Structure 1
Amino acid sequence: MESIKRPLDGVKVVELATFIAAPSCTRYLADLGAEVIKVESPAGDNLRYTAINEGRPTGDLENTSFDCDNANKKGICLNIKTPEGREVLEKLIAESDIFVTNVRHKSLVRDGLDYDSLKVKYPKLVMGYVTGYGENGPDKDLPGFDFTAFFARGGILGTLMDKDAVPMLTIPGFGDHPVGLYLANGILAALYRARETGKGDKVTVSLFHSAIWAIAIMLQGAQYGMDATRYPMSRKDIANPLTVVHKTKDGRWIQFAAPAYNLMYNRFVTALGREDLVDDPRYFPQANLQNNLHEFYDMLVAQVATKTLDEWCDIFKKADIPYAIAQTWDELLQDEQAWAANCFYKMHYPTGNDRTLVRPPILFQDTPLPEYKRGPYLGEQTEEILASLGYTEEQIQAMMAAGAAQHPAPKEH
């Protein structure tokens, strides 16, 4: 049986990036069949060293965080500050279709790796670039992380909370992963044009702009000055309390989703066991509700507290009303639907442990799921890649001895 070609078979990608956003983009390209070569300095990608933040063991032998964003890649370790290391990087880019980086602009210009310099030599090259705040404006050179550029500056941290609470706890990757897929989307469009016209392009995605896009509906609404958009606000003041999470008798939280309030109101109150409220002019239509928000909210709190989570799930499922349990991460890892929908992959590590890893959320019908190969150890394919570029064994060993290239052993736990 003839094997099915993956969409990006034959495409070559060079990644010079650290942390999450840009590497998550190239991980997805690798899943699509591209040959992705990850270039790391002798210090290695910073994501290799965040074990304490994620509660996992230290070392390379079981690095689930690194594997999430670097699966299916090859790795080369270069000191591009040396002439020899810089020459290797240049050769890799010369052979590639796509170059992805999150190195800050001033450093790229200094090293001749900015797009204006590269496109003169490689007019078909597509460059993918991740920034914190974009490429123009007074803050374009600020360092950017999802904690700051996405969550805080991007209008999420200061708004999406009850006004009497503290801002939500941020988690790494929350903003980075969408940025990675946005970048991949733009890169694939640019690659198509490069194949059609011979002209490449530079695709830029920022954490800041991505956050603004994520909150665009309410952000645009905020310009009208209505109370419904004055976030942060009290839960009691949300214009549609049928889209708020509520606490059950057994202390669990259940999220409802009735954004079309007028369409779903009667079905909803009937499912709640409050048939007496059908067409009640205090709460229906939604325009009438606005003068009685607190009263209706208090009724919801009291009513949801009369039954357990399982009881409400059964009721709302039978009524075909959208709801979801506010799951913990332990529950999500066991979620039957998540496994059936191919969200997860079970990885066996040299430590003897089996760990659950997450797949990117884009699936194909006629292309099989990619094999989930762990990310490369630091410089794992250094010698193999150098040989593929035409370097002799003697030249490779000389570069190793000079520190221009490395193949260090993986760090154990």
Structure 2
Amino acid sequence: MTKPLAGVKVVELATFIAGPCCARFLADLGADVIKIESPKGDPLRYTAVNEGRPYGDAEDTSFTLENTGKRCVTLNTKTENGKAALEKLLASADVFITNIRPNGLKRAGLDYETLKQKYPKLVFGYVSGYGEKGPARDLPGFDYTAFFARGGVMGTMYDVDAKPMTPVAGFGDHQVGMYLAAGILAALYRARETGKGDQVTVSLFHSAIWDIGLYLQCNQYGDSSTQWPISQKKIANQFQVPHKTKDDQWIMMSMPQYDAMYDRFMPVIEREDLIGDPRFYPQTALQDHLEEFYEIIHQEVAKYTKDEFCSRMDAADLPYAVCQTWNQVLEDPQAWGADCLTKVTFPNGKERTMVRTPVVFTDTEMPEYERGHFLGEDTRAVLAQLGYSQAQIDAMIAAGEATDVTRIG
């Protein structure tokens, strides 16, 4: 079966997560993705200690997550011959993805304005920390800083009596990667139709602001219930707050239509006596009794185990979910049933659970999940396809202008 992006060539000169995540998704769709790394390799190859996993290529789940399905080429693009090889790749590419900061791109002659003069159909996918305009455009940005912190997530998503959460690495990066993929696909279609490429830029900062957009606009009205960080006891809708069960499991309810759900929820906690109580119903009356109502729900939910409370919510057909930890997600039957997860065997023989990208097709078969390629694993093959002789490739490798298979650790 022909994949949607069969025949599309993508050159990736990006590190860490956001840009590589985008290119990995395009590879899933059938694109031929060539990942260019410096002789030192993508820094993501060196983050094992951060993630508590074995060091080296033999079981590099992090690199595999973002780079499965790609060919890995190592070039020293600061040398004349390394830069020439990159230019040959770009000359035949449909898409170029990078996260090099603007000044570095311009110095290397890899900025969009320069490239579009040579390759007018090229789609330029750019990952930025803070965007291409504004006073922070040249600042370094990671999802911890540009997305979680400055983007308004970390400063609000905690109880006012607590402290900011510890961010989940890659959370913002993955959103940026998928947003960028959407833009690239639109620009690719335009290029096919008109012969003109475009630059698609997605920043961590803007993505976070978009993600919190619902409450960002609510905040402007000044109501105390939207001035986060806030105590959970003062949330305007007490059916949108997590509560702990008897066996210390947190349950997140989500019933945005408070008035429509009130009478259905009271039997769940066996408090039919509260049906019609003017302190708590309708929602406009609740606003003067938020903390009192919070304590009632908190105490009643704590009388049940997780399974007991979930069973009662299921019987009432009310929306909720257990606040699962990562080890619970790895065993979640829905995660396996919906093909969110799969197994990959690594070179050391270990089998690990890996996450699939979240876009699912009905009539398009996704590729087998394979381990990420070693540093320089495809250098010789790709350079040969560009017309380099084996002697020329050997000379480039000997001169440090390229490297072939390099295993780390």
Q: TM-score, normalised by structure 1?
A: 0.98
Q: Is residue 72 of structure 2 the alignment partner of residue 70 of structure 1?
A: no
Match of 1:128 in 2: 125
1:262 paired residue among 259, 262, 267 = 259
Deviation at 1:408, TM superposition (A): 3.6
1:42 paired residue number:
39
Select which of 252, 277, 280 maps to 2:277.
Answer: 280
Equivalent position SS for 1:155: coil
The structure 1 residue matched to 2:84, chosen from 83, 87, 93, is 87
Distance 2:393 2:207 in 1: 42
Cross-structure match for 1:389? 386
Contact in 1 for aligned 2:346/2:371 (Cα 8 Å)? no
- The letter for the 1-side match of 2:66 is D
SS of alignment partner, residue 346 of structure 1 = strand
Determine which of 351, 354, 362 is the counterpart of 1:354: 351
Shift of 1:262: 1.0
The count of residues paired between Structure 1 and Structure 2 equals 409
Could you tell me the percent identity over the aligned residues? 59
> Is 2:61 aligned against 1:58?
no
Structure 2 counterpart of 1:296, from 293, 297, 300: 293
Conserved? CA contact 2:120–2:197, under 8 Å: yes
Q: Which of 370, 374, 379 pairs up with 1:373?
A: 370
Secondary structure of the residue that 1:142 maps to in structure 2? coil
The one-letter code of the counterpart of 1:321 is: L
Give the letter aligned to residue 399 of structure 2: A
Aligned counterpart, 1:330: 327
Task: From 235, 239, 260, give the equivalent of 1:242.
Answer: 239
| Match of residue 165 from structure 1 | 162
1 CA distance for matches of 2:324 and 2:146? Answer: 27
Give 1:118 deviation, angstroms. Answer: 0.2
**Counterparts of 2:372 and 2:126 in 1: how far apart (Å)?**
21
Alignment match of 1:204 (pick from 191, 201, 204): 201
Residue 212 of structure 2, aligned match among 212, 215, 219: 215
- Give me the whole-angstrom Cα distance separating, in 2, the residues matched to 1:369 and 1:78: 30
* Runs of 4+ with deviation above 3 angstroms: none
Aligned equivalents of 2:326, 2:219: Cα separation in 1:
33
Offset at residue 270 of structure 1 (A): 1.8
Tell me how far apart the structure 2 counterparts of residues 302 and 266 of structure 1 sit (CA, whole Å): 18
Instruction: Give me the whole-angstrom Cα distance separating, in 2, the residues matched to 1:409 and 1:199.
Output: 38
Per mean C-alpha deviation after superposition, the further-off stretch among 265-274 and 92-101 is: 265-274
Please report how far the alpha carbon of residue 121 of structure 1 lies from its aligned counterpart in structure 2 after TM superposition.
0.5
Alignment partner of 2:266: what SS?
Answer: helix
- 1:233 matched residue in structure 2: 230
Question: How far apart are 1:369 and its partner, in Å?
Answer: 2.5
Task: Give the partner amino acid of 1:10.
Answer: G
Shift of 1:409: 2.9
Unmatched segments (≥5 aa) in structure 2: none
**1:170-207 residue CA offsets vs partner (Å, 9 max, x unmatched):** 12101000000000000000000000000000000000
Whole-angstrom distance in 2 between the partners of 1:86 and 1:200 = 22
Measured after TM superposition, the shift of residue 169 of structure 1 is: 0.8
Does residue 98 (structure 1) correspond to residue 106 (structure 2)? The answer is no
CA drift at 1:411: 2.3
Report the secondary structure of 2:273's partner residue.
Answer: helix
> In structure 1, the residue corresponding to 2:59 is in which secondary structure?
coil
Q: Cα distance, 1:55 vs. partner?
A: 0.7
Give me the CA root mean square deviation.
0.7
Number of the residue aligned with 1:305? 302
